Structure 1
Amino acid sequence: MSLKYQVVPVTSFSQNCSIVWCDETMDGIVVDPGGDVEQLSSVIKANGINITQLVLTHGHLDHVGGTQSLSVLLGGVNIIGPHKDDNFWLQGLAEQSQMFGFPPTQAFEPTKWLNDGDTIHFGKECLNVYHTPGHTPGHVVLFSEPAKLAFVGDVLFNGSVGRTDFPKGDFDTLIRSIKTKLWPLGNDVRFVPGHGPESTFGYERASNPFVADEL
């Protein structure tokens, strides 16, 4: 199995930015570069990874705040995702950064929006894209079938689920996304959430008070 990843917590929100790569070719991606761009750059260099694209799960500032700076630093690599329904979040980044006391962040549009069923390729690896609205309307999740590994942004956490009290968030939609898009991928799937420790879908199905099967 050639998929490798390293989680680097960034910003004052300790957002889990994931550097993901194929260890046969050393081509890779960065998922949710929310900030601390110099730190991310040094991890990328230390591992000898050739980053081919930056991938966003959703449009919240702590997940996208460092995207444009990192793209420039890496020679202008493409920015992919999220789903276009999160465009209003990306267009409101200047206001978000002011509100949360982050460095000023300008609005941008990605090179390409992602849709349900899309795939992201780097080296010999492939991640499948699932549109999982609820936390935000354009949220996506990335899944490696061979590695049984998912990068789920703020949809699901160890012991909790994403907030739905933001504009265009919806609790029922979020729970439906988790149960219809994530659970079918398998109980043995390990996931990297946007914040906090990793877990597995099976563990959350057994114990997470928001989405456990008994409820």
Structure 2
Amino acid sequence: MQSFIHHHKESSEASSKATQGHVIDLGWRYDLMLWWQNILSRGKWQELQQHIADLAQFQPGETVLDVGCGTGTLAIIAKQHVGAVGRVSGIDPGLKQITRARSKAERAGLSIDFQVGVIEQLAFADQSFDVVLSTFMMHVMPDDLKRQGLAEIARVLKPEGRLLVVDFRRPQEHEEQSERPVHTGPWQSGVQDQPALIQEAGFLQIESGEIETGTTKLPEVGFVRARKNQ
């Protein structure tokens, strides 16, 4: 989008959108926090973003939606992969997050459609996207909201479109206590809880696994990939 469109959107979006999930809306302070996390982890957080892009298997010309895009870091990486012909959109309930994302995309000279929005009501037409991403956000939502969001994701995905969920792992009861930090949100949710909900939403070819970050400074991370049924 051109900068004048961005300015118009910012003036028309008076506040963050209400949602049942926990909202982080820090803008540039969020990026500062992640910059410091990247320093503490010796660059592993930045490497993780590239690993997520590899898991998404972006192809030139694809249409991508990043749900819960934060300040737009992954959406910018996606746009670099799909190229000028591809289209990337990002939504987040936090106005400061979206304002920051638009600023970063503009500085990078990339056309990305960032909107204030919520997962339970995606403002896009049916079958609009080849790929939908959800990274580090499912753990801050109750299960009923996850179900609503996954139904919306299925609606906007094209037939056989791909879903990638990346989130923090919830420690299992039988596992020894780790020195790693734990981020499971107020609902004690982990990425290992996602495959059943994704299958319930009608997705197929579901695969899951862990992402090795190579540091104890970051929580344990996992992923779930799936395809929409035709």
Same fold per TM (> 0.5)? no
TM bin, normalised by shorter chain, reads 0.3 to 0.5
User: Larger Rg: 1 or 2?
Assistant: 2
User: Using CA pairs below 8 Å that are at least 6 residues apart, which structure has the higher relative contact order?
Assistant: 2
Q: Which has a greater percent of helix?
A: 2
TM-score scaled by length of structure 1: 0.39
